[in-house]
Structure 1
């Protein structure tokens, strides 16, 4: 599976808010860097990353990400996105690293 296909699989699970499927799309030693101010919080390992997804979906059940542009560069994928939540919206970018067909790292940055 190429990097773009791996991220598309991850994004489909994310859009469905299916934490089990998200985690199946990630490596056991995965890393997620979120957009929490001021510089984001780093979650390392499947347990920590799973907890971050569960918290995100519980805290904002009606929120939706829309991918605006996606491109691949070797084992990296860049996703420009628009996030709509109750009371507002924001734009940002995710930088993915893929290893062996699974997302190994997702670093998120927000415009603002």
Structure 2
């Protein structure tokens, strides 16, 4: 794979989540990637290494009850910031209708040599 610029890496990262296709993440994550998830508050959970980060992201991207909508993306050099809304639907809700809730968040990303090396997630919890 040729080296992708930061904007393209962030675009593909977002696309994997919006299309629920975790296979799009495979070539985007560096071997030494560090990711901190938004939960549990207040510090999140730290994941280190390509396999751990991919495992977490793949499960989240594939989840049919979670939808991500990036609404603003800012890229400068090796840094990218993604502002997003995540919408969660509880398919087990009473009377067969799912209960929906959402949360706003932001990912602060670092991309080097066309791969994500750092991803720090923050959110406003409901």
Indicate whether the TM-score tops 0.5. Answer: yes
Shift of 1:57: 4.7
Unaligned runs of 5+ in 1: none
Residues 73 and 80 in structure 2, CA contact (< 8 A), matched pair in contact too: yes
Aligned counterpart, 1:43: 47
Residue in 1 that maps onto 2:97: none
Quote the residue 2:28 is aligned against: 25
Structure 1 segments (4+ residues) deviating >4 Å = none
Q: Which residue is equivalent to 1:4?
A: 7
What secondary structure sits across from 2:44 in the alignment? coil
- Please give the alpha-carbon distance, in whole angstroms, between the structure 1 residues aligned to 2:53 and 2:79: 19
Q: For the aligned residues, what is the CA RMSD?
A: 1.6
Give aligned pairs, total.
111
* Structure number with bigger Rg: 2
Corresponding residue SS for 1:35:
coil
Is there any run of 5+ residues in structure 2 with no aligned partner, and where? Answer: 90-99
TM-score when scaled to structure 1? 0.87
Contact 1:10 1:103 in 2 (8 A): no
